[in-house]
Amino acid sequence: MHMTISTNEAELELRVKRTLARLGFPLVAAHSPAAGQISLNGSVPSTDDRSLLTALTKTVPGVSSVVNETIIVKPAS
């Protein structure tokens, strides 16, 4: 079955991606499986960054729920 993303979901994804890139998370992927929902994937360096990522995503207009599936990967020393 072929799934299509509605214009509203695509616009929401774009808004979230732009916001996260501007705030220091350019490598985190954002997907909108349904209206108002955002799923985040990728890696962050700490649990604090993971929490911040969720909080920042919730501030984007149109986001009603966030599923943060990012993983924590400590930077190499």
Domain that holds residue 26: 7-72
Domain with residue 51: its CATH number is 3.30.1340.30
Q: Domain for residue 41, yes or no?
A: yes
**Rounded to 5 degrees, what angle do the CA atoms 10, 52, 22 make?**
55
**Helix 47-58 vs helix 7-22: angle between axes, to the nearest 10 degrees?**
130
Q: Domain for residue 77, yes or no?
A: no
Q: How far apart are the first and last CA of the chain?
A: 45
Q: Domain for residue 50, yes or no?
A: yes
Q: Domain for residue 57, yes or no?
A: yes
Q: How many domains does the chain have?
A: 1
pLDDT tens, residue by residue, 20-76 = 999 999 889 999 998 899 999 999 999 999 999 999 999 999 999 999 999 999 888
Q: Domain for residue 2, yes or no?
A: no
Which DSSP helix (H) or strand (E) runs through 54? helix 47-58
